[in-house]
Amino acid sequence: MSEEVSASGLTPASTGTTLPATAAETSPDNPWPLQLLSQKLKAHIDRTPSAWVEGQVIELNRRGNTAYLTIRDVDAEVSLPASIWSNVLDRQAGTLQSGSRVVALLKPEFWLKTGRLSMQVKDIRPVGLGDLLARIERLRQALALEGLFADSRKKRLPLLPHRIGLITGRDSDAKKDVLRNAALRWPAVEFEIREVAVQGNTAVAQVTGALRELDARPDVDVIVIARGGGALEDLLPFSSEELIRAVSDALTPVVSAIGHEADRPILDDVADLRASTPTDAAKRIVPDVGEELARVRQARDQVRRSVTSLVDRETDRLFSLRSRPVLAAPEGMVMMRADDVERLRRRSLAAVQTAVVRASDQLLHLTAQVRALSPQQTLDRGYAVVQLTGDGLPAGSRGDVVRHPVQVPAGTGLSIRVAGGSFGAHSNGNSNSNSTLDDNVLGNNPTNGDSNERSKQGAAE
């Protein structure tokens, strides 16, 4: 184990004991000498690099070649004493005084003899208005790239909020403006007020805490962050990244009412609604009761006019309908249809009768034609039909009508049909067309009586 050499030259061997190598190995029976702890602290602190920090000078005292100052964080209750050589302080272009916002290069130093830790300012630079504006603009652009200012993230304010959360300074004019103008526009409005620091190093923490508290309340419908005008340095808390992200994460709509019209902290960009002044915020979060009552009266008048117009129009329509003939004399429609039915009935009857007469005439005409073409009519005019009936004729010729004398050899039996009936006869074989019939033809045939009887029946038919 390597020996530790102290500033006084003490070593573990010179003390007669074996010292622990680390602080964790120390014990009541084997402690470190105080100077060894101080040496280790100094060695560790000396290895710490310098760091640029931002803060506000709240105290500055010059003592010879050294000046002592206290730097406080701009957004929190944290302060740190430091010392600076006068020649470093004199190099600044402007006069450094209490309240100045600065960036300083700090190097921690540990005084071995007294065990005191101090911060040595190696360099210091005041933060001017241009630097602050440039820093705010860089932060604004970075947050815009993240989409925190997008219109799609903006929440709509309720038409008539039940309860309004108000974050403002203690007994400030901004608070009075919001309460007075909101009550004038809507007397029944209710507020949940949180009075906080609106400038200084505690403003960001207090405003953010009040915002989260009001956002967690379900009865708060909208939150207003209001502050009157002031210098750029006074409005810096409302461009703090911590506050901006808290507003972006809030579920309740947030209205920004910071300063005057010309003031533009980053809070205006992330808020769901930007009001130019606290008075403007009061006018935009609640409706005007007079205007709303006027709208109600106007709506009632419009509804009344619409209903009256509708009733008048429908009354005219009913009168017009009642004055029509179909409603003035409803039986007229039935009578007119009855006349139509009677007229059609007569036309149908006449058409049927005409068709029957025409069909009867046509039937008589056809009957006359049929009778004119009937063989009976020919017989009635004195003609006769002669058919072969005798034996000795060729097969299939019996019953044939005689059309020539050669068909009838002598002795051939014949059947002669006349208008009055039929009778039989025999051919004498004479082919002369002027030949006469034998006795059978003259009626001497014993079968003549039967033929006459059949002739009578034929005539009767």
CA distance linking residue 206 with residue 200, whole number of Å: 10
Enter the DSSP assignment of 402.
P
For residue 240, give the nearest of 207, 213, 278 by alpha carbon: 207
Q: What is the mean pLDDT of each run of 10 residues along the chain (461 residues)?
A: 42 60 89 90 90 86 85 81 86 74 88 87 80 83 92 92 93 91 90 91 90 94 90 84 93 91 87 92 90 91 94 90 77 82 92 94 90 79 81 68 81 82 79 44 41 41 38
202's tokens: 């505690």
CA distance linking residue 379 with residue 461, whole number of Å: 13
Range 131-154 burial, b when 16+ CB lie within 10 A, else e: eeeeebeeebeebeeeebbeeeee
For residue 74, give the nearest of 226, 232, 261 by alpha carbon: 232
Q: What pLDDT is attached to residue 93?
A: 65
**CATH fold for the domain made of 134-287:** Rossmann fold (3.40.50)
Q: What pLDDT is attached to residue 99?
A: 73
List, for residues 344-381, the tens digit of each pLDDT value.
999 999 999 999 999 999 999 998 888 878 777 778 77
CATH number of 51-127: 2.40.50.140
User: 203-215 and 241-249 are packed helices; what angle lies between their axes, rounded to 10 degrees?
Assistant: 0
CA distance linking residue 397 with residue 387, whole number of Å: 10
Contact 106/90 with Cβ under 8 angstroms?
A: no
CA distance linking residue 12 with residue 30, whole number of Å: 12
Q: Which helix (H) or strand (E) holds 274?
A: strand 273-274
Q: What pLDDT is attached to residue 390?
A: 67
What is the Cα Rg of the chain in Å?
69
Per DSSP, helices labelled H in 373-418 are: 375-380
Q: Alpha carbon of 367 to those of 353, 363, 435: distances in Å? A: 21, 6, 39
Q: What pLDDT is attached to residue 56?
A: 82
Q: What pLDDT is attached to residue 455?
A: 40
Q: What pLDDT is attached to residue 285?
A: 92
Q: What pLDDT is attached to residue 2?
A: 38
User: 278-285 and 173-185 are packed helices; what angle lies between their axes, rounded to 10 degrees?
Assistant: 30
Domain extents for the chain? 12-46, 51-127, 134-287, 378-460
Number of residues in the chain: 461
Model's pTM, two decimal places? Answer: 0.52
